[in-house]
Chains A and B, each alone.
Chain A
Amino acid sequence: MEQIKERLVSRYRYSWILLKELVKTDFKLRYEGSWLGVAWSVLKPLMLFAVMYVVFVRFLKFSDGTPTYPIVLLCGISLWNFFSEATTMGMQSVVTKGDILRKINFPKYITVVAATVGSLISLAINMVVVIIFGLFSHAHFTWRIVFVFLNIGELYVLALGVSMILATLYVWFRDMQHIWEVVLQALFYAVPIIYPITMIEQMSPEHGKTIAKLMLMNPAAQSIMDVRHNLISPENVPTVWTMVNSWYIQIIPILITVVIFGIGFSLFRRYNYKFAEIL
């Protein structure tokens, strides 16, 4: 018993040391050789936001008419950026670290965790920017902010689960890179980020409400809407909790997240011992 405990401690000690060092070096290397360095993790979503704001809000008039819409858009873009970056980097992490994998035995999941945690750090920086912007653009900060950590936690678990599925598949099938790029693009439009969810509701008087509710069953959409609701605008951002009445439908997106993580975890665990031989 004592031996088992010792073993567990020493095993997770290694994982922890490695995770810290990998996250640190990945972060250093990400902006290595660029002029503005870490500033890019703030600048990039801001620039993307500027483009989308001009195209969708000013030009195509996608707006729910509330004064918080621009900041809600920025928040959504930051969160989506995190999800798409974390899953893409997570998918590639095992293969990019293949060189190390073939030379040293270490817990393979660390590579996926390190890649997604790296994106999480960028998200944290972005969220600070969102809050600062919010101060000047009618954001309504309330006690609900404490829920934001749960919501982002859910989005992270989802991203990690998806990453583990993709990373395992990617070792055998490099096609995944292209497939996932397309799926991400489709998902981006399926999540109400550049358009308000009220727009869907108004499109068809009879089915609009149902379609909007269905869209919120996507855990990515649900958690992103939740973050916007709890962080910026409790009044103007509807969520699954405000739109759906029955609790057993409300928890569907959370269940999906748990299931995806479970699949990712067991798939990864079942096959990770083979990675070094395949790569």
Chain B
Amino acid sequence: MTHQDSDIALRVDHVSKSFRLPTEQASGLKQAVINWTRGIKGYRDQEVLKDISFTVHKGDFLGIVGRNGSGKSTLLKLISGIYTPNSGSIQVHGKLVPFIELGVGFNPELTGRENVFLNGALLGFSEKEVEAMYDDIVEFAELEDFMDQKLKNYSSGMQVRLAFSVAIKAQGDILVLDEVLAVGDEAFQTKCNNFFNEIKKDRSKTVILVTHSMESVKKYCNKAILIRDGRIIVNGDKDEAANLYTQENLESLNSKSGKQGKIGTNGHPKGLNDTVPLLRCVPQSKVVLTSQESFEFDVEYEFTKQEPFFMALSMLDARRGGIPYDSGTMKMGVGGQGRQKMHFSLPLRMFNNGNYQITASLRVKDPADEDHTNMVAFTNEENSCSFSIREDAKGTDYALLKYAAVDMKHDGPHGI
């Protein structure tokens, strides 16, 4: 589909941005003079964004995703005109309303009403225009009885509601939102959800949303970009961006297994000890998978005592909670063989979308009860491994088990 230039809401063209980070605290005349006389720069340049280009069309709902420190917020501030790019250009067509933070300029000493007008003015709305939106804002925030109270007497939830309502009711063409979705109680969340669904359909409004929630990206956005270390990695496809983002996060979790985490008082990381100095799960396949695939991983371990021991694996559901699967105790023979590893393959055909974690534990027979085992060691957060299932088929997000996994039967309806 080709777009005409008049359809473009925002064009970011080869934008780069670097910051000068002071190497010493130089916010004083003395330091400035010292640096100057010694010929020291007193700062170093850090490149935050490198050659960023993308286009947003009118009516688009663009998600910007990326890990912390990837440059998302800087990009948002450049788009909002708060920062100026070192090179490249940014063109905005239409009224852009930025929400880098909700309730900018909110003052606790002013009443709710006065704050709405101040916030409105900062966003570029005249008194008359705010007056026109005012009732809507108050109604949406459900704060009719509190508007003449000072803001300092509001609960934090009420303040956020008011700020968010101003944001939502602000009549801009382009809304720029920075991680503002997770506010308010459940009822308010539902309202926000409805609002986003509505704005998604509205072709005259353009939304640019920075978020860490891949769920919202998939739900609201029609486009997404993924940023890593100041560069665009994915430009356009929201599923690709969301999946790659999930994978990046899992990889960083899994890659920590090399470090084994913080060393505890016994000279071993949490969960390990002299008997079991090594126990970790290492992924051997992709970590973002579909249910047709299997998750392949190795468990590396060392059991130093010359006695029989056992292993147990658990699969944790990070989003829904609980343990969907447990391997039971597996006989491992006798220890003292040095470092060993064992390969596992976990078929995923029964499971729906989710983030899962595999943890392993080594166990020995309970001397008091032959039928039980006691845990000797376990994999901590760093030594466990994580994977995700991502599919687009209908109904794959909600329940843990696939329809086919349970295959519930029913007959036709009849009276009771």
What residue of chain A has the Cβ atom nearest to residue B123's Cβ?
A104
Q: Is the CB of A25 within 8 A of B114?
A: yes
Q: How many Å lie between the Cα of A102 and that of B83 in the bound state?
A: 9
Contact of B28 among A13, A18, A102, A174 (CB under 8 A): A174
Contact of A103 among B30, B104, B109 (CB under 8 A): B104
Q: Is the CB of B32 within 8 A of A104?
A: no
Could you say which of A26-34, A74-82, A260-268 contacts chain B? A26-34
Q: Is the CB of B110 within 8 A of A17?
A: no
Q: How many Å lie between the Cα of A25 and that of B118 in the bound state?
A: 8
Q: A28-B110, A100-B104, A103-B104 are in contact. Are A21 and B28 (CB under 8 A)?
A: no
Determine if A61 is an interface residue (Cβ-Cβ < 8 Å): no
Q: Is the CB of B109 within 8 A of A173?
A: no
What residue of chain B has the Cβ atom nearest to residue A16's Cβ?
B126
Q: Is the CB of A104 within 8 A of B118?
A: no
Contact of A21 among B27, B77, B81, B118 (CB under 8 A): B118
Q: How many Å lie between the Cα of A146 and that of B308 in the bound state?
A: 105
Q: How many Å lie between the Cα of A32 and that of B80 in the bound state?
A: 33
Q: Is the CB of B110 within 8 A of A104?
A: no
Q: How many Å lie between the Cα of A191 and that of B118 in the bound state?
A: 39
Q: A173-B27, A174-B28 are in contact. Are A103 and B82 (CB under 8 A)?
A: yes
Count of chain B residues near A, Cβ 8 A: 30
Q: A14-B124, A104-B104 are in contact. Are A29 and B32 (CB under 8 A)?
A: no
Q: How many Å lie between the Cα of A172 and that of B84 in the bound state?
A: 18
Determine if A277 is an interface residue (Cβ-Cβ < 8 Å): yes
Q: How many Å lie between the Cα of A105 and that of B127 in the bound state?
A: 19
What residue of chain A has the Cβ atom nearest to residue B121's Cβ?
A21
List CB contacts (< 8 Å) of A237-279 with chain B.
Answer: 273, 276-277
Contacts of B110 in A (CB 8 A): 25, 28-29
Q: Is the CB of A104 within 8 A of B27?
A: no
Q: Is the CB of B124 within 8 A of A17?
A: yes
Q: Is the CB of A105 within 8 A of B81?
A: yes
Contact of A17 among B28, B100, B101, B125 (CB under 8 A): B125
Q: Is the CB of A277 within 8 A of B83?
A: yes
Determine if A20 is an interface residue (Cβ-Cβ < 8 Å): yes
Closest 10 CB pairs of A and B: A105-B81, A21-B121, A103-B104, A175-B29, A103-B100, A105-B82, A103-B101, A276-B82, A17-B126, A32-B109
